[in-house]
Structure 1
Amino acid sequence: MNAPIRILPELTPENTPFWTGGERGELMIAHCDACDHAIHPPELICPVCLSRSVTPRAAAGTGVIHSYTVNYQPWLPNLQVPYALAVVDLDGEPGVRLTAQMQGIDPESVAIGQKVRVAFVQVEDVWIPEFHRIDG
């Protein structure tokens, strides 16, 4: 079976570190150098203090599922269903939630409060984050 068609993000100066950090196994989150506010989605200007000094930093890559949904609709050709999309509170990144597909787990087994770790799948020139449950 062919891989599903993916709609890929346009790479911009502010989001390129996020979408390419997976090449090194790093989940890159923008931070304000002036006030240390974590900024996601990434922006060039801090929304808190308006500083233009924003730098991407590698996050821990772990977190806890805040919410999730299980999709049963094949929206794109060759899309494998069902699959779970999780909204994850990232460890060490206060206020940052990342939405990504869960992998390596039965979608019906996903639950709020589960610990997860990021991994990446490369599609063309971007590395898409996905989450795997941390057992234990």
Structure 2
Amino acid sequence: MTILRTVLPQPTPETQHYWDGCAQSELRLQRCRACAQAYFPPRPVCPSCAARDIEIFAASGRATLHSYIINQRPRPDMGKDPHSIAVVLLEEGPKMMTNIIDCPQTPEALILDMPVEVVFIRQNDAITLPFFRPAQG
């Protein structure tokens, strides 16, 4: 599936590790060494305890569908068909906003708590975006 966004994120020094990971088909999260809390989105301070002792690690890429809406309005970068705007609960604990792809965009197919997995789609030389699809087994 080709999904090309017209508006792309701009990496910053605090998020560069995340975008580098996506380019290598690796979902990178941060974890606080003081309280062991994994979190997303990337930031230099732990949102739980405000510690700055942070490590970057490769997440499993597995998640469950936590919530979603089906957007019926056409978008040039998502095609003419409806598309989901979803929140997934990553296996490591954080929640992440995304789109669910490779699946009918209907309430019958988008079942809450269903297992999903990350898939990476290159947008240009600088940005590869993570999307999620129903888990393959």
Normalising by the smaller structure, the TM-score range is 0.7 to 0.9
Per-residue Cα deviation, 1:5-40 (whole angstroms, up to 9, x for no partner): 421111112212222312222111111122221121
Change (3 A) 1:77 1:116: closer
SS at match of 2:84: strand
SS at match of 1:119: strand
Alignment-mate amino acid for residue 56 of structure 1 = I
Report the TM-score when normalising by structure 2: 0.85
Q: Which runs of 5+ in 1 are unaligned?
A: none
8 Å contact 2:30–2:38 — kept in the other structure?
A: yes
State yes or no: 1:99 paired with 2:97.
yes
CA distance, structure 1, for counterparts of residue 37 and residue 118 of structure 2:
21
8 Å contact 1:4–1:79 — kept in the other structure?
A: no
After the TM superposition, which residues 3-82 of structure 1 pair with which residues of structure 2 at under 5 Å, given as runs? 5-76=5-76, 79-82=79-82
CA distance, structure 1, for counterparts of residue 90 and residue 78 of structure 2:
30
Change (3 A) 1:5 1:65: closer
Report the TM-score when normalising by structure 1: 0.86
* Matched-pair identity in %: 30
